[in-house]
Amino acid sequence: MKFQLSMTTFPTFRAAALFTLHLCTIGRITSSRGVASAIAEFDLPFPLADLCRRTAQATHLWPSEKIEVARELASHFRDGLDAGNPADQLAQGFGTVRIVARLIRRAKKRARPFAWRAAIRTVQACALFLGAILALYGVLAVRFWSGSPTITRSFIREHNALADAIPKSDRAWPIYRQAVLARVATPFDLISAESTWPNIEPDDPHWPVAVEFIQRSQPSLSLVHQASRLPALGNRWTTSSDIEIDRHIVGLRGGRAEDLVATEDNPDAPLIGILLPHLGLFRNFARELSFDMRVAEHEGDRARVLRDAETLRGMAAHCRQEPTLVSGLVAFAILHLEIEQVGRLLARNPEFFSADDLGALSRAHADWGGPEGLRLSFASESDNFEDLLQRCYSDNGRGDGRLTPEGLEFLQSLTGGSAAPAWLQSSVRGNGYLSLVGPAIMQTIASRREQREKYSDLIALAEKDLQLPAWTRRKNGVAARAIEEIYSNRATRMKFFPVGTMFPAILRIGDKGDAIGASRDALLIAIACEAHRRQTGEYPTSLSALRLPVTATGALDPWDGAPLRMLLRDGRPLVYSVGPDETDNQGAASAARDNSALAPGSKAPGGGQDWILWPPAK
């Protein structure tokens, strides 16, 4: 019924079908008639005529060839009969029709045109090739679909075991958490586009609202002060958010907190899936503390300023403890905010701090971060990669394995943007597609061992690069070039796609450390200058007159390795780096200078300008 409908519905299809049927039928009928006609010419008795007909038809040759064969066989029998041989004897001596037909067919086909034979050979070669490909694909498909990852380590559980081992009295996170639950809503005026929060000055129209907000925030900030002085952050990693905190924050924003539903934590989930909600919360606290320092300065409350600064450094140190690069970067951001605030205050109000305050600030900044200083480690990133491998690859027990269907889906889930290879981009995603190409991808992508070795090699290079002085690393660092090599070639980019995806932007991490180190050293110089002025009655004219605390960065310019520059301008010290052009422009800066624009990692040419480190821009 369906067929009839389609035949009548689509006239073109119907015509084509009928034409094909016509060709097939007419061809066979024509061939059959031609053979019969050719045999009839020789007036053979039925058994011989039938033998000729059946043999000719059994050859399955072209119609003209069949007629030729039939005619020649019939002619042969006619000659035999004419020579006096009985028909049944001739028929008996003929042999088996099927075998004769096959031999004739084989011989006749050899006589066909070269183009026809070439076409047949080509089709046969293609079929053979396709068959080989299909066979290979079949083998790969079995290998691919029979593989499954084996999760042997839970990095989340391992981290939480370490967190649980910290004495409860030393853990800061529970108090930070209380501080979050004690937070009050940030006024809309402060988070609107017009606001410069938290860099609001007393002459700013938002100042009264901000002051009122920061006064209401004191109970929360008091808890932050308390937490920041404890030795360990001590937070557990989870894959579910803290429902109590979420409800409190949503409630502060006027949302329906009761609509939020708690999700279940999965400590065996991928390491990459952990939530680090405290990082965002820390940044909020850091902004509030930063403004609190301004209010305290305005009110002449030195102790409050120092307490806020210490709290910021403590929060930064807590972030620094956490073994993830992103936590380290947040630590740098909070520390940078504190350095800016202290430096700004010192520039604007040199008499604000006592001599003891200056000494304490100098020591605190020089010692921040302990022996590791401002250098981040890649150890946690290696854990992340190892976790990725165990979730993507099978494990043969000897450190190697192949990509699995689950692994391919996991890799796909990591690729949100166009940076991923075409085979994983959203336009071609879908389970059907992955099922089809999975075996081929498994064969193309590097094995578990190769991925690990490549990653380890790159991490070793990156760690080595990080040991280089900043000004040398940019020129002689090899890790970035090794990564670029992977990305410069489509084949290697695909082969080591997991490495490329998971490998941190190493140069940027080094640059961040360089930038914060230079800012810290500049603040130490500014503090030393102020101490010098109080002792001698005037600012020093050069760094050699100062006694600076020892730091890992050694107060050296990250752009050229020479000591940071200092000169007196308008009777006040100016501390600067030569910037990207590596030329001492005597502290020249554009009117709208932005300190970060010429920091290490910046792509600004910085021609004719220096990177001004102190005093900070207003």
Please report whether residue 54 would count as binding another protein according to CB under 8 A. no
Contacts 24+ apart (CB under 8 A), 29-38: 30/63, 31/57, 31/63, 31/66, 31/67, 32/57, 34/63, 34/64, 34/66, 34/67, 35/66, 35/67, 35/70, 37/67, 38/67, 38/70, 38/71, 38/74
Of 67-75, 180-188, 491-499, 583-591, which segment contacts another protein by CB under 8 A? 67-75
Task: Please tell me the count of residues contacting another protein according to CB under 8 A.
Answer: 25
Q: How far is the CB of 29 from another protein (least distance, A)?
A: 24
Q: How far is the CB of 59 from another protein (least distance, A)?
A: 10
Choice between 79 and 457, CB closer to another protein:
79
Distances (CA, A) of 143 to 14, 394, 494: 46, 11, 20
* Given 35, 67, 73, 295, the residue binding another protein (CB under 8 A): 73
Choice between 73 and 224, CB closer to another protein:
73
What one-character DSSP code corresponds to residue 550?
A: P
Q: How far is the CB of 37 from another protein (least distance, A)?
A: 14
Preceding amide of 615 cis, omega within 30: yes
Which of these, 613, 35, 147, lies nearest to 391 by C-alpha position? 147
* Given 54, 76, 375, 593, the residue binding another protein (CB under 8 A): 76
Please report whether residue 261 would count as binding another protein according to CB under 8 A. no
Of 68-76, 156-164, 395-403, 498-506, which segment contacts another protein by CB under 8 A? 68-76
Q: How far is the CB of 130 from another protein (least distance, A)?
A: 29
Choice between 97 and 358, CB closer to another protein:
97
Q: What is the DSSP string of 131-182?
A: HHHHHHHHHHHHHHHH--------HHHHHHHHHHHS-GGGB-HHHHHHHHHT
Q: What residues between 125 and 164 interact with another protein by CB under 8 A?
A: none
Helix (H, G, I), strand (E, B) or coil at 613: strand
Of 74-82, 195-203, 485-493, 495-503, which segment contacts another protein by CB under 8 A? 74-82
Choice between 52 and 480, CB closer to another protein:
52
Q: What is the DSSP string of 75-124?
A: HHHHHHHHTT--HHHHHHTT--HHHHHHHHHHHHHHTS-HHHHHHHHHHH
Of 87-95, 286-294, 350-358, 540-548, which segment contacts another protein by CB under 8 A? 87-95
Q: What residues between 332 and 351 interact with another protein by CB under 8 A?
A: none
Separation CA 601–CA 169 (nearest Å): 40
Q: How many CB atoms lie within 10 A of CB 310?
A: 18
72 neighbors 100 (Cβ within 8 angstroms): no
Separation CA 557–CA 583 (nearest Å): 12
State the greatest distance between any 2 C-alpha atoms of the chain, in Å, as a whole number. Answer: 146
Separation CA 266–CA 93 (nearest Å): 85
What one-character DSSP code corresponds to residue 257?
A: G
Look up residue 428 and give its amino acid. Answer: V
Total residue length of the chain: 618
Please report whether residue 69 would count as binding another protein according to CB under 8 A. yes
Choice between 117 and 481, CB closer to another protein:
117
Q: How far is the CB of 62 from another protein (least distance, A)?
A: 14
What one-character DSSP code corresponds to residue 573?
A: E
* Given 1, 5, 83, 261, the residue binding another protein (CB under 8 A): 83
Helix (H, G, I), strand (E, B) or coil at 275: strand
Q: How far is the CB of 124 from another protein (least distance, A)?
A: 18
* Given 16, 26, 79, 216, the residue binding another protein (CB under 8 A): 79
Q: How far is the CB of 122 from another protein (least distance, A)?
A: 20
Choice between 12 and 96, CB closer to another protein:
96
* Given 50, 72, 383, 453, the residue binding another protein (CB under 8 A): 72
471 CB-near residues (< 8 Å, 6+ apart): 557, 558, 559, 560, 561
Q: Is 606 left (phi over 0), alpha (psi -120 to 50) or beta?
A: left
* Given 36, 45, 75, 588, the residue binding another protein (CB under 8 A): 75
Choice between 75 and 602, CB closer to another protein:
75
Choice between 83 and 592, CB closer to another protein:
83
Q: How far is the CB of 49 from another protein (least distance, A)?
A: 14
Q: Which two tokens stand for residue 604?
A: 């600004």
Helix (H, G, I), strand (E, B) or coil at 611: strand
Q: How far is the CB of 64 from another protein (least distance, A)?
A: 13
Q: What residues between 90 and 129 interact with another protein by CB under 8 A?
A: 93-96, 99-100, 103-104, 106-108, 110-111
Choice between 3 and 114, CB closer to another protein:
114
Q: How far is the CB of 100 from another protein (least distance, A)?
A: 4
Choice between 103 and 436, CB closer to another protein:
103
Q: How far is the CB of 394 from another protein (least distance, A)?
A: 55
Separation CA 291–CA 308 (nearest Å): 9
Choice between 106 and 569, CB closer to another protein:
106
- Which residues would be at the binding site for another protein (CB under 8 A)? 42, 69, 71-73, 75-76, 78-80, 82-83, 93-96, 99-100, 103-104, 106-108, 110-111
